[in-house]
Amino acid sequence: MTHPMEQIPVRQLRFNFDAVEHHNPVWSESKPEFSIFLNALGVDVPHFERFLVKVMRAYRDELDDAKLKKDVQAIIGQEAHHALNFINWTREMSKHYPKLTALDQHARDYFELAFQKKSKKFKIGFTAGYETFTFLGGMIVLNRYEELMGRADPTIRALWVWHQVEEIEHGAVAFDFYKAFYPQDEWYRRWMVVLAYGHISWETFKAYAHMVKVERYYRSPKKAFKAWQFFVSFAIDLARSALPVLSRKYHPAEHPLCNELQNPLAAAWRDYYTSGNDVHSLSNEDIRRIMNAQTI
């Protein structure tokens, strides 16, 4: 089987959030706190994705490597579609979570100011650092699919499966982009990984805390404990999975979580999409069909 990073197809998907069951933002029955976590994470992520698009467009003409230029164009296409869908989902969630509009604007302003004011090295380095965790998060979520969203709303489940599959596909591009400009500066790359982790954790924390409060989890000590236990445990999993990233010999394509074996759901989803099936909604039956086709 080919390595999951071998191809980076741009899939132009648009999700209909009016189709979300009961317009309920807590979309995972398997692990409700996981759905809140991803919702919170998804407030900041699309504004980073638009930042990535602007950074790579600004500096791609300075690249000499033809393949990397092609990969950069592909990640720009994938991330632009991700950002549009997640901004629309945040807008939909804002009807339920009053503070989300302000948090969304804060994320937008942060990345717009960073693009205007920060150095070229920071912009390229922070892009690589942040992409470290979208890639690793993609692997973690797909590897724990049944536990985290085995029973979930078909539309939002489809959104996140698509997003995580593509984050893995282009998971090496931002790293290679940084190395093309700063091949010897490993300490700065490592610092950007640490800085990005802190940024993602804090921005997710703010949205998560608001969502947990609105969902009235604090009325039940048990639910509140479970919610924050999940947040901390997932943050630790992300940090632990990032340890190989700090090695001088690191490359995303060789990360222990990512190899030619691939995640079974990711491989099956790609085949399902390539065969012309609609992936805007994935019911439990659709998932079973996808996985059964992979084993034939």
Give me the pLDDT at residue 174, please. Answer: 98
Compute CA 124 distance to the chain's CA centroid, rounded to the nearest angstrom: 18
What residue has token string 């980076």?
Answer: 8
Residue 133 tokens read as 């965790």
89 and 15 Cβ atoms separated by less than 8 Å: yes
The second-level CATH assignment, the architecture, of 26-255 is Orthogonal Bundle (1.10)
pLDDT at 296 over 60: no
Evaluate if pTM is beyond 0.85: yes
pLDDT at 156 over 80: yes
Give me the pLDDT at residue 129, please. Answer: 98
pLDDT band at 295 (very low <50, low <70, confident <90, very high): low
For 62-114, the pLDDT digits (tens) are 999 999 999 999 999 999 999 999 999 999 999 999 999 999 999 999 999 99
Cβ atoms < 10 Å from Cβ of 92? 16
Report percent pLDDT > 70 for the chain.
98
Whole-number average pLDDT of the chain: 95
Long-range contacts of 235-241 (CB under 8 A, 24+ apart): 235/201, 237/140, 238/133, 238/136, 238/137, 238/140, 238/197, 239/197, 241/136, 241/139, 241/140
Give me the pLDDT at residue 21, please. Answer: 87
Question: Alpha-carbon distance 270 to 84, whole Å?
Answer: 21
pLDDT at 263 over 90: no
pLDDT band at 294 (very low <50, low <70, confident <90, very high): low
pLDDT band at 170 (very low <50, low <70, confident <90, very high): very high
For 34-58, the pLDDT digits (tens) are 999 999 999 999 999 999 999 999 9
pLDDT at 260 over 80: no
Domain boundaries, the chain: 26-255
pLDDT at 277 over 90: yes
Give me the pLDDT at residue 258, please. Answer: 82
Give me the pLDDT at residue 292, please. Answer: 83
pLDDT band at 206 (very low <50, low <70, confident <90, very high): very high
